[in-house]
Amino acid sequence: MPLKKIDSAVRQAIAAGIRPWDAAPPLYRLAWRLGFELRPPHYAGFASNAALLGSTYGLAMGAVGLAWAMRLPSWRPAAAVPVLATAAVVGIAFGLCMAALLRRRARLAQLPSWDRVADADGGEG
């Protein structure tokens, strides 16, 4: 998946009315800079959006929750279980909600499927 196709898809999403920040979110921009060729979120599948966004959010929430809980005077290692369980449940819920929202926005913007996005050279991907 060439980066030209990603750039073309992002431009197409912006032209369809999706805000630039939503068409190419910071997490995706970072991944692209690191060499990961992820589809832009509005072109990715439901499951991949749910997995990526849910796991990222859940891991971040778990890390912050543990850091906060470990500062409490009553901290015990067993307290990590409810913190991590909560982070996992909220991460899953967040991922599912975001994936549904992205699918809905892509449908309302009438974005083509990933296979129909032409790269910057005008050729099909």
Per-residue pLDDT tens, the chain, 125 aa: give them.
567 899 999 999 999 999 999 999 999 999 999 999 899 999 999 999 999 999 999 999 999 999 998 888 888 888 889 999 999 999 999 999 999 999 999 999 999 999 888 765 555 54
* pLDDT, position 100: 98
- Alpha carbon 14 to its chain's center: 17
* pLDDT, position 29: 94
* pLDDT, position 118: 75
Q: Give the whole-angstrom CA distance, residue 64 versus residue 68.
A: 6
